[in-house]
Amino acid sequence: MRRFLTTLMILLVVLVAGLSALVLLVNPNDFRDYMVKQVAARSGYQLQLDGPLRWHVWPQLSILSGRMSLTAQGA
């Protein structure tokens, strides 16, 4: 039982350290151009992201944006 708890604690520490490193070392604004290009390539729509992007860790790891708009090519 002790070995199981030790392994569980080590996994928890590694998970928390990895998420902390991701949030502290990776700037989500670096993905802005990638997201805009992927939306245009896959759907043909133009994505505009206004404001900074930021990490959201709980309950699901995600990137949050402020105001955004999605428009068709000819509009």
Q: What is the pLDDT of residues 13-37, one digit of tens each?
A: 999 999 899 889 999 999 899 999 9
Q: What is the pLDDT of residue 75?
A: 66
Query: Residue 57: its pLDDT value, please?
Result: 82
Sole residue written with tokens 């991701």: 22
For the chain, give the mean pLDDT: 91
Question: Mean of the pLDDT values across residues 59-66?
Answer: 88
Q: Is the pLDDT of residue 54 over 70?
A: yes
- The answer on pLDDT for 74 being more than 80 is no
Dihedral Cα 32, 33, 36, 42, nearest 10 deg: -120
Q: Which of these, 8, 74, 64, 72, lies nearest to 43 by C-alpha position?
A: 72
Counting runs of H as helices and runs of E as strands, what totals does the chain give? 2, 4
The total number of structural domains that make up the chain = 1
Residue 41 pLDDT exceeds 90: yes
What are the residues facing 71 on neighbouring strands?
46
Taking the mean position of all CA atoms in its chain, how far away is CA 3? 34
65 is in which domain, residue-wise? 2-71
